[in-house]
Amino acid sequence: MRDWEQNPHLYLTDSKGSFILKNDGTPRKKGGRPQGSKSNYGYSNEQKTKQAARRSVSAKQKAIKKIEKQLESKRKALRQTTDILGKLENESSKPTESGKVVTEDKLSSLPKSVQTEIDKGNHVIFHPNDGPQTEFLAADEKDVLYGGAAGGGKSYAMLIDPLRYCHKKAHRALILRRSMPELRELIDKSRELYPQAFPGCKF
């Protein structure tokens, strides 16, 4: 049996499935190495040793990068946890650069047992109400509309919102009310709340 009859997949065919013939009338073989075949080229022992050494070095470098990435992630988590616990445990009334404001997303990075203990303790001076107040304070848009009936927590939310940025020196905030009695109520509440969040602050 001829080779093209035994291995037809190694030979070129036209759109009709017929073999493409050479000048001598025999089918023309496909170019390149047949799929699945192995090269007959043999590497010397020295070349094989060098290739194995390069692969070993590359694998170790990848492993080191992976460990360094994991280590940096652990360090970041440790710094964040230490910073949060420092704010919660510090009862001093001295001025602090970062204040004692801890947002919900940072609290969620703490172990569950610590979160539970914080919720049971007297560390929390403000916790938003479920619903619009929470959604307003969690919004990252520049302009947010927040409406509703009296007593829904709108004014208190406006009083709390600036605290998230008070650790930034360039931060400025302005709250306006229609009447002085309405503004006086917020001023009294700010005098009660702000010194607890930022000991030593001036406003």
Q: For the chain, what percent of residues have pLDDT higher than 70?
A: 75
Mean pLDDT of 26-51: 77
| Count of the separate structural domains present in the chain | 2
Residues 73-107 pLDDT 10s: 888 888 877 777 776 666 555 555 556 666 666 66
Residues 167-201 pLDDT 10s: 777 888 888 888 888 888 888 888 888 887 777 66
**67 located within any domain:** yes
118 and 27 part of one domain: no
23 and 105 part of one domain: no
2 and 86 part of one domain: no
23 and 92 part of one domain: no
pLDDT category of residue 8 using cuts at 50, 70 and 90: confident
65 and 18 part of one domain: no
**46 located within any domain:** no
Residues 39-61 pLDDT 10s: 656 678 888 889 899 999 999 99
What range does the domain containing 84 cover?
Answer: 51-203
CB atoms within 10 A of CB 198: 20
**194 located within any domain:** yes
End-to-end CA gap in the chain? 100
If DSSP states are collapsed to H, E and C, what string results for 1-45?
CCHHHHCHHHECECCCCCECECCCCCECECCCCCCCCCCCCCCCH
91 and 151 part of one domain: yes
10 and 92 part of one domain: no
198 and 128 part of one domain: yes
